[in-house]
Amino acid sequence: MESIEKALVLKVGRFREVDAWLKLFSPRKGVFNAFAFGGSVSRRRFLGCLDPLNVVTFKVKSDAAKGYTYLLEGALVRAHPRLRQDQERLGMAVNCLKFLEAVHLGHPGSEAVYDLTLETLDTLEAGGNPCGLLPLFFRARMAFDQGFRPDFTACARCGVLLDQAPPPSLFLVEQGRLHCSQCRRWGKGAAAILGGEALQALRDLSEHGPARWADMSLPARARGEVARSVDLFVEYHLGLTWDHGSFRRF
């Protein structure tokens, strides 16, 4: 069966002399592998397509009997040349894609994450100096969009608006809830302290896209609070932790 898939190229590898395999991410199929026979030498069927970070419209053939997917041809939609030339931006992009692969989404929920991923890459490709926490924000937003989004506006116990309560708040990671400073003592389980600036940053990333995150500027204390809360949240709800250059499931 043949179909058309618009996909982000995550990885490219070579086998035999002229053939290639690719790991792709599409809004319809999620993360999947495919073969491009003759892809290493073809200048007509895959011109400029078979590089990581490219967005490509592929003509795809699926062989259900063998369980294989083949790429028949591709048309480049857009590349991200600046990411390839800027090591800092490339490092942030790779971190985001490693997390995406580790979560390994199938079809359910993949459309929203596909849009989020492309918007993140486009933000890194654009001008300015993106916030160094952008990969961390990507992980948090991806978890939020999979159904784990906390309410950062009100205390889960007394209902007071957190903007009107004195800081700090307590982020109850396992429950995905927040307690105001007056209700902190009733919090149980894994938790992280959030001052006013850290709380606002988490609220912004839950409500806005990567273009907004790129401009965030946080003092060291708030950066630490955000990092700890996101790491704990992702570890608990997605079972992933960053370890020696890759995400490890436990």
Has residue 105 got a pLDDT over 80?
no
Q: Where are the alpha helices (DSSP H) in the chain?
A: 81-85, 87-103, 110-125, 134-143, 196-207, 210-213, 220-238
Has residue 222 got a pLDDT over 70?
yes
Report the share of the chain in percent with pLDDT over 90: 61
Q: Taking residues 142-169, report their average pLDDT.
A: 91
pLDDT at res. 106:
67
CA distance 250 to 154: 32
Q: Two tokens at 88?
A: 């800092």
Has residue 213 got a pLDDT over 70?
yes
31: Cβ contacts below 8 Å, ≥ 6 apart: 10, 23, 24, 25, 100, 101, 104, 105, 106, 110
Q: Among 8-22, 74-88, 212-226, 235-249, whose mean pLDDT is lowest?
A: 235-249
pLDDT at res. 69:
92
Which domains are seen in the chain, by residue range? 2-79 (2.40.50.140), 84-249 (1.20.1440.120)
Q: Among 7-16, 64-73, 93-102, whose mean pLDDT is lowest?
A: 64-73
pLDDT at res. 241:
82
Residue 237's alpha-carbon distances to 53, 106, 186, 230, in angstroms, are 27, 17, 22, 10
